[in-house]
Structure formats: C-alpha cells, structure tokens
Structure 1
C-alpha cells in the first residue's frame, strides 16, 4: 500500500513549533530562520487543506485539528528517534555486565575474578548486586547469576552448583564458648542467619534431629555475607553454603563443628539473553565460570 505522507520537513517544523509554542524557538531548535518555519507550516496546512494554528497578536495556538495532528506527529517522531538511537547504539564488546546476589559476589565470584582477568585481560567486568533476577529486556545486563529453590524451565540457563548446608563458626568460639559436640548444643549458642534465607537453619536442624531449636532466633542480617563475617568475628554459629566457605575451612579461618551436610533442592544458575546470539564476552565468561563451578562442586548439569 502506498503511504500518503506529508512533506517531512514541513511535518518536522510543525511538530517543533507546536511543542515550543513559538515559531522563533522552533526555528532556533531546527537551525533555520523563523520565515522558513512559517513557510513549512503554510505548506503543510495547504497540503492538508486545513488550519493547524490560530495566529493572533499574542502568538500562536493549535486548532483542535492541529492538536490531534500534533499528538500523532509527536508520537511518530518520538518512535523514529528511539529506533534511530537504538540502531546507532553499539554495544561495548569489551564490557561484561554481570548481575548477581551480593553474597555470591563477595564470597564466591570476586575472589576468583583475578583468574578470569588473567585469561581475558581485554574484557572489562562491571558487577551489579541484587537479589532480583535480571530482566534482560529492560536492564543493561549481559549475564546474571541467581539461586532458584526448584529447577527452572526455559532456555538461556545453565546450572552452576547446588546448595549444601553446614554450620560453621570461628575456631575461637569453640575455645571460649559453650561446648559444641552435638546439634542440641546449638541451643546454647547465638545462631546467625540471613533474612533472605529463613529456611536454612530449620532445614539443617530438622535433618540433625534438633527441630526444637528455633533456627531464626539470634542475629539476623540483611544478607548472608554479613552473617559470614559475623561468624568469622566469633559472634555465633552460621548455617553456611559449603561453596561459600570452602576456602575459609581450608585455611582454618572457619571450622565446621559437625560432619552433617544437608543438600537443598536449590541451586545457582547462570542466565543470559535467550533471544539473541551470545556475544564472545558472554561465551568466555560462561566457559570460565562453569569451569570454576566444576572445581568446587563437581560437573554441573545442563
């Protein structure tokens, strides 16, 4: 179908004049003379065979027909402007934008980033922390890492490792505090937990045969990273994810007073845009982070 379009320069002049409410300001915006704007609008009115402006001693005002046409023209030009900016935008192929939970970033990813940088020194990493999953349609994010209580459906996802719970504390707490030889002894200790993970202590205590202990009493923190730090500072006993304390247990900074480890149904997943080809920087990060996850927790599932 052949489109019936008005003279586009005249349409642009009309939209600017209607938006500015003044031919002079419209001319300044368009880098033309006021006379040129006036002629463009006269041309458009002649083409439409109707008046778009009422002209008076105190300036111009849109006619009812002009107001309707301005609403249409402004929306159309805004859409063209947006589409043009999107087309001209060039993604920075060197910048990898990652969104992930703060505890995962602090306890797992950041301590390993030097290895990724050594392999890919030309990729700049930008990290944003949040407990919310990334919305790739609305956010400028290349990849996200998030936890799920159940295996999710959909493409653009890869499982990294599962969640295994175990209590940990600082060695000094065992030396100066009440004994901690059986799970029931936890009733005499301060329990540390994250407000974002209220089910962790109850799950471990139930498996340990001590469901009578309230796992969410004691000290609660906004995120688990604070609770891990509190454990290292001898404030109490933290129910941890084994992937987040492996280095601390190996170094002796933290100790696990009980051998029991309880697996949950949850796991951490890597996600990326599923509606577009993976950029090379995303492929490089996926390959690296999966290899790191395998070293910690065994081969992850597809």
Structure 2
C-alpha cells in the first residue's frame, strides 16, 4: 500500500519556518528565497486543507492546527536526522574518540597519554575538548570525561577522583611579592580562577576562615588551564584541584603556602554508552587504563 505523504520539500519549509519564527530565516537556512518558502507553505496548506500559519503585520504565528502538525513533523525529521547520522557513521576499530574538559586534558591526561599509547599502540586517540557532557546519541564520541557532583544519568559512568581545592603559586611569587603565611594574606595577592569555576575561591576562603579576602576579585580566565599557566608565570595565586597540580608540587614548580585543603561535592567521571551496551575493545582498554591511572595517582 502506497504512503499518503505531503510534498516533502514543503514539509521541510514548514518545519524551518515554524522553528525559526519567520520565512526569512527559514529561507536563509534552506538556501532558497523567502518567496519559495512562502509558496511551499501555501502548497502544504492547500494539500492539507488546513491553515498552518496566521499572517499578521508582525510576521507569522502557528495556528492551533499548525502547532499540532509542527510537533509531529519536528519529531519525524529528528528521527530521520538521527537515523541518517547512525548510517553515516563508519565504525573504525582503531580510533578512540574522547570528549573532555580542556583543563583535564592539559593538566592530567596529556602527561599520561604516552603510557596508554605505549600499552596500546594500535589505538588511535582523537581528543576534543568541551565543558559539555557528551550526548552519545548525537555526538561522534566513544568516551566522555566531565565534572559533576552526582553520577550523570543515561550512561555507564565510573568515578575517577574527587575534587580537593588548595591554593598554589609559583615559588618566585613569594620571593618578590607580599608574604603568604596565613589565608588572610591572600588579600595582598591577585587571585586567579576560571570563569567555569567561580565558586572555588569563595568555598576555600570560607572553609579556611579568611574573612578579609574577596573571593570574587582577581583575574578570571575562560578556562582553568589558562589560570594554571598564569600561576606558573607568577601572576598570582590559583585555587587549584589537587590532581591537576600533584606533579607540579612534587617537582617544586608550584608550592602550597597553606595546609588547608577543602573537599567539594564534585568529582570527575568517565562515561561510555548506556549500561547494557557492549563496549568496543578500544573503549574497554581505555577505561581500564584511566581507572588504574587515577587510582595510582592517589584517587582524591
């Protein structure tokens, strides 16, 4: 039995116009003229024998019938898009695609990645950085690493390590700048932090009992990796995460002026596709390796 479907180009034009809110932006998205979008929508309305849009001096608005039809069309097109992406993906058993925050990549993973490559030289690692957790249904990703206070839902997650805050700075900063003997001395220094972690300084200062220091002042960077570099360059003091500076503290590149370390509710997690999904061997190998590295690093 043949399907009774409306003109599909007209359906695309209608969906774009409804989503964009006007014919002009829909035309730009579809790379056609505004008149073409209007004609497609008109043809669809004639085919359905239903008015989909109200035309007013201010633009267009969906009619009640249009809202119902838009919900159905949008869902159908999203399923087609998802199916298309699934078909287009050509599994490459050698390539491991990892999505993770930039600071985690620079400060923790990169110094250790050579060990993974030495153990698994047949796996090609592809890294993309983002503060957004991966959507395994849409992103071309095998593994996601991210920071959250609770395990994320909808994926198979394992905890790597928790978040422990501590102020650190370059040794040279104390040779040329004001002293740092007690937490209140931080008022005489520049505080460094990431715009993605604005609560770290206030949380540490409160726990340390430093009442004369403004935790919202100082230099703020787009990501923490830049703030760590600024600390190494003696621009100020950063409230760091212990796993990201453990090696620098051991080597003397950074120092910890106080003995106050503060645990946060947050933790770093490694996530793969939903539980019950059989993981490729390359994913299993990376997960086993990074969990062992995190445990060897001291966990929290």
| TM-score normalised over the length of structure 2 | 0.72
8 Å CA contact retained: 1:151, 1:266 = no
Q: Counterpart in 2 of 1:266?
A: 266
CA drift at 1:150 = 3.4
* Stretches (4+) displaced over 2 A: 79-90, 149-155
Alignment pair present for 1:224 and 2:254: no
CA drift at 1:211 = 3.3
- Going from structure 1 to structure 2, the CA distance change for 1:185 and 1:101 (only over 3 Å counts) comes to same
Q: Counterpart in 2 of 1:147?
A: 147
Q: Counterpart in 2 of 1:287?
A: 288
Gaps of 5+ in 2: 8-42, 49-75
Distance in 1, Cα, partners of 2:102 & 2:220: 16
Distance in 1, Cα, partners of 2:131 & 2:230: 20
- Going from structure 1 to structure 2, the CA distance change for 1:256 and 1:82 (only over 3 Å counts) comes to closer
- Going from structure 1 to structure 2, the CA distance change for 1:200 and 1:81 (only over 3 Å counts) comes to closer
Q: What is the DSSP-based 3-state SS (H/G/I as helix, E as strand, rest coil) of the residue aligned with 1:274?
A: coil
Q: Counterpart in 2 of 1:296?
A: 297
8 Å CA contact retained: 1:103, 1:223 = yes
8 Å CA contact retained: 2:145, 2:269 = yes
CA drift at 1:81 = 11
Number of residue pairs matched by the alignment: 245
C-alpha root-mean-square deviation of aligned residues, in Å? 3.4
CA drift at 1:215 = 1.2
Q: Counterpart in 2 of 1:278?
A: 279
- Going from structure 1 to structure 2, the CA distance change for 1:157 and 1:177 (only over 3 Å counts) comes to same
Distance in 1, Cα, partners of 2:88 & 2:265: 44
Distance in 1, Cα, partners of 2:255 & 2:285: 35
Gaps of 5+ in 1: 7-14, 16-62, 69-75
* Superposed counterparts of 1:109-120, under 5 Å: 109-120=109-120
- Going from structure 1 to structure 2, the CA distance change for 1:277 and 1:201 (only over 3 Å counts) comes to same
8 Å CA contact retained: 2:151, 2:157 = no
Deviations 1:223-250 (A, max 9, x none): 1000000000000000000000011111
CA drift at 1:297 = 2.7
Distance in 2, Cα, partners of 1:131 & 1:156: 19
- Going from structure 1 to structure 2, the CA distance change for 1:223 and 1:88 (only over 3 Å counts) comes to closer
Alignment pair present for 1:132 and 2:112: no
Alignment pair present for 1:103 and 2:103: yes
Distance in 1, Cα, partners of 2:210 & 2:165: 15
* Superposed counterparts of 1:36-185, under 5 Å: 86-87=86-87, 89-153=89-153, 155-185=155-185
CA drift at 1:153 = 4.7
Q: Counterpart in 2 of 1:207?
A: 207
CA drift at 1:261 = 0.6
| TM-score normalised over the length of structure 1 | 0.71
- Going from structure 1 to structure 2, the CA distance change for 1:82 and 1:191 (only over 3 Å counts) comes to closer
Greater shift, 146-155 or 275-284, is seen at: 146-155
- Going from structure 1 to structure 2, the CA distance change for 1:189 and 1:90 (only over 3 Å counts) comes to same
